[in-house]
Amino acid sequence: MHEKKIFSELKEDVDLLLIYNRGGSTVDLNFFYVTGLVTGGIFEGSYAIVYPDETKVITSLLEETSAKKGDNDIYIFRTSKEREELLKKLVGEAKKIGLNYSSLTLEDFEKIKKNLGDRNYVDVGQAIMNARMIKDENEINIIREAAKIASEVAEIMPDFMKEGMREYELAARLVYEMLKRGASDVAFTSIVAFGENTAEPHYVPGARKLKKGDFVLMDFGAKYRMYNSDTTRTFVFGKASEEQREIYDTVLRVQEMGIGMVRDGASGAEIDSKVHDFIDSTKYKGLMTHSTGHGLGLAVHDHVGLSRNMDVTLREGMVITVEPGIYVPDLGGVRIEDDVVVRKNSAEVLTFAKKKELIEV
């Protein structure tokens, strides 16, 4: 899948691409991208051999049923010896082989060299990443479903907020509600923060109890068919203070401004600069401590999106997050995050949980 697109991104010709998914803690998401095998199966220790017009998969007997769901040629091995023989046979006389250096361990690279001998190996990781950055409508529809699950859950979460409950209890409910709606997994460890903890952008839920007047920040996402959503909503438990309202309204305004600037051809760095400039023009100067957004796809942080540190020209079909925040130490923070598709003249917003008014729970 996506073979033509990947080959058109290559800086130099290669005879084939060889993608190895070791599995465990070294999953190569490119394996799933090139094979399109996203509906099930782990594919540990599997190879994908990619040509400009087809992809061959070498996988184990355990994955046979899952592998057959795709439209690749499948080669099944029972032992690692059989796997290496299949690899040698299928790679044949290819002289120049593209590998993904960013996910291949040195151990596996040495094993490939031992099996295939002296060939010309080149890194094609960036070319695959360039192809992955622009989603086709099928991929966008999968992300749309992941975004729908997360949005529906964000909307019902206030029903579960009770005085005295702990952050991890609300986090457990969040995960449960996503899986109940068909998420295959969570996209990442959910952030659920109460009160002063909301001032920490990458907080991990702990034992803090919910009190009246707390900000409640939830940053989470659903995984669906291996693609991810990523959304953040911030509430106040009880009655909001003037200060809390002011922070919320500032973030909401700049978030909508940011979304309004997203379109084909726009500069990601410029959008991020404008978002920061806006916040820095208010009394919350310097209190947005991260960039405005990132690319979203098979990885939660798929590629650079809206960042002053590394410019990217937005292209139609990219999916990015827009997530400004203001973090006031000791008081708390607000972040509002939506997932959007870059379209020709605007952004198509995929996440839809209410945000127009600060919700007091």
Per DSSP, helices labelled H in 213-261 are 242-261
User: Based on CB atoms, which residue is closest to Mn ion, 177 or 230?
Assistant: 230
Encoded tokens for 295: 């690319």
Binding of residue 228 to Mn ion (CB under 5 A): no
Residue 277 CA to residue 250 CA, distance in Å, equals: 12
* x/- letters, 6..45, toward Mn ion (CB under 5 A): ----------------------------------------
Contact region for Mn ion (CB under 5 A) — 43-51, 122-130, 249-257, 321-329?
321-329
Q: Which of 169, 214, 230, 272 binds Mn ion (CB under 5 A)?
A: 230
SS3 43: coil
Contact region for Mn ion (CB under 5 A) — 175-183, 230-238, 273-281, 312-320?
230-238
Residue 43 CA to residue 14 CA, distance in Å, equals: 25
Contact region for Mn ion (CB under 5 A) — 5-13, 44-52, 159-167, 317-325?
317-325
Residue 10 CA to residue 99 CA, distance in Å, equals: 12
User: Based on CB atoms, which residue is closest to Mn ion, 86 or 334?
Assistant: 334
- Residue 296 CB, nearest approach to Mn ion (Å): 8
Encoded tokens for 236: 């106040």
Q: Which of 128, 321, 335, 351 binds Mn ion (CB under 5 A)?
A: 321
Which H or E run contains 235?
A: strand 231-236
Please give the span between the terminal C-alpha atoms of the chain, in angstroms, as a whole number.
46
Residue 37 CA to residue 69 CA, distance in Å, equals: 7
Q: How many residues in the shown chain lie near Mn ion by CB under 5 A?
A: 2
- Residue 73 CB, nearest approach to Mn ion (Å): 37
Q: Give residues in contact with Mn ion (CB under 5 A).
A: 230, 321
